[in-house]
Amino acid sequence: MFNALWLQKDDAGFRAGVEPLADERLPALGEGDVKVAIEYSTLNYKDGLALTNKGPVVRLWPMVPGIDGAGTVIESRSAKWRVGDHVVHNGWGVGETRWGCLAERAVLAGDGLVRLPAAFTARQAMAIGTAGYTAMLCVLAIERHGAKPGDGDVLVTGATGGVGSVAVALLARLGWRVIASTGKAEQGAYLKSLGAAEVMDRAALSAAGKPLQKERWAAVVDTLGSHTLANACAQTRYGGVVTACGLAQGMDFVASVAPFILRGITLAGVDSVNAPLAMREVAWQRLARDLDPALLESMIEEVALAQAIARAGDLMDGKIRGRIVVRTAK
């Protein structure tokens, strides 16, 4: 038997709870699959949508949610992985069309796993999770564009969230002067402890603005979309780059071509769910090199599996700072 967060939706409505399941309930191992004893998972925005039934994330019912997991291989039909290997999983549709990692056991595709870097414990890897790995993908996109700290400030929106917190810490350590945008003024000290040089009210970016505004930043990590993303583009300096990786404010993007054709800025989309394995491996290697474990620890709130449902609701209500790590093992 193993414990799992179990989502059901039928004529009786939507239900979420922790249930003991027989090992036989796990999907059968196919060629290339591995069975992993999950030690830690985490709560991402997509998990919050699934656990609160606020978005069409789950495509097959019943479902074990959890797009992220870290643990130890206990059975393998993959040539890449042996029993005892320590692995990290991010995305690839688990928790949507395939059972996920908010459980003590999971069957995962071996080709989608990354080896746990020696620099991190399983708990730390899940403090990073898809959110932190996405933040690193944004940093890599900024670097591929050729932007560097000497070019000017970098803006991080939604800065107290999972992606934002890790992005602030990473960029500050890499030498950038980070401007952290948040709606939580009381978290200013937290953001400055991560390395933010300045904290600004998100209201300055969240309403409709002019198509071309005063040049302010050389690069942007945007987690919000909507008017915030449009204003970030309108305020980006000549030749700068804006990375877009989230839609917490909305999926709309009511903007103008002016920043692109008059200032030559670049809007770079960042996808973490289906990013190629080679890109994932680079991102995790860089996280192991560039993310201060002490700062990572300051972002963490650890909860048990049974507490994840309530905290998912808090996540959707904007009440979470940093990263929620879910202890799945007993």
Q: Which two tokens stand for residue 320?
A: 């979470």
d(CA 292, CA 298): 10
Q: Which residues contact 263 (CB under 8 A, 6 or more apart)?
A: 212, 215, 236, 237, 238, 239, 240
What residues are paired with 68 via a beta bridge? 90
Sole residue written with tokens 């690839």:
92
Tens-level pLDDT at each residue, the chain (330 residues): 999 999 999 888 999 999 999 999 998 899 999 999 999 999 988 899 999 998 888 999 999 999 999 999 999 999 999 999 999 999 888 999 999 999 999 999 999 999 999 999 999 999 999 999 999 999 999 999 999 999 999 999 999 988 999 999 999 999 999 999 999 889 999 999 999 999 999 999 999 999 999 999 999 999 999 999 999 999 999 999 999 999 989 999 999 999 999 999 999 999 998 899 999 999 999 999 999 988 888 888 999 999 999 999 998 888 888 889 999 987
Contact status, residue 70 vs residue 87, Cβ threshold 8 Å: yes
Listed in order, the ranges of the chain carrying CATH 3.90.180.10 are 2-116+299-327
Position 300 scores a pLDDT of 87
CATH number corresponding to 131-269:
3.40.50.720
pLDDT of residue 325: 94
Q: How far is CA 171 from CA 4, 76, 220, 221, in A?
A: 36, 37, 11, 10
Go through 125-152 and write b for each residue having 16 or more CB atoms within 10 A of its CB, e for each that does not: bbbbbbbbbbbbbbbbbbeebebebebb
Kindly tell me the burial class for residue 193, based on how many C-beta atoms sit within 10 Å of its own C-beta (0-12, 13-18, 19 or more). middle
Provide the residue type at 324 as one letter. I
CB count within 10 Å of CB 28 equals 8
| CATH 3.40.50.720 domain extents, the chain | 131-269
CATH placement of domain 2-116+299-327: 3.90.180.10
